[in-house]
Amino acid sequence: MGTAINYKKQIIDLTKELTEDKVKELISFGHFLKAKQEGFSYSQVTDSAAYVRKLRSKESPKSGSEKNFIQEIMEWQKSDS
C-alpha cells in the first residue's frame, strides 16, 4: 500500500508543475490506461453505438442525458484528432 501512496504523491507533485492543458492530457491518458486495463481495444469495437451504451451503463444517473453523453464522446474524439 505504501508504494501506491508514493505513486499518488508523485502524480500530485507532477500536476503542480504542469500547465492545465498538460494536466488534462495526463487525465485523458489515465482514462485510457483504465480502459485498456479493463480490456478495451478499438479493434474490438464493432458497433460504436453498443460501445457507447456499455459505457453509459457504467455511468451514474447523475452524469446527464444520453444525448449529452454522446455529445461529450463526439467532442472527446474530435479533440484527439
Contact 35, 41 (CB under 8 A): no
Do 60 and 31 lie in a common domain?
A: no
Do 36 and 50 lie in a common domain?
A: no
Do 30 and 48 lie in a common domain?
A: no
Do 33 and 47 lie in a common domain?
A: no
Domains identified in the chain, total number: 2
Contact 69, 52 (CB under 8 A): yes
pTM of the model: 0.45
Task: Write the pLDDT tens digit of every residue in 26-70.
Answer: 888 888 888 778 777 666 666 667 767 777 677 655 555 666 777
Do 36 and 49 lie in a common domain?
A: no
Boundaries of domain holding 80: 43-81
Do 22 and 7 lie in a common domain?
A: yes
Contact 51, 62 (CB under 8 A): no
DSSP 36: H
Beta strands in 1-81 (DSSP E): none
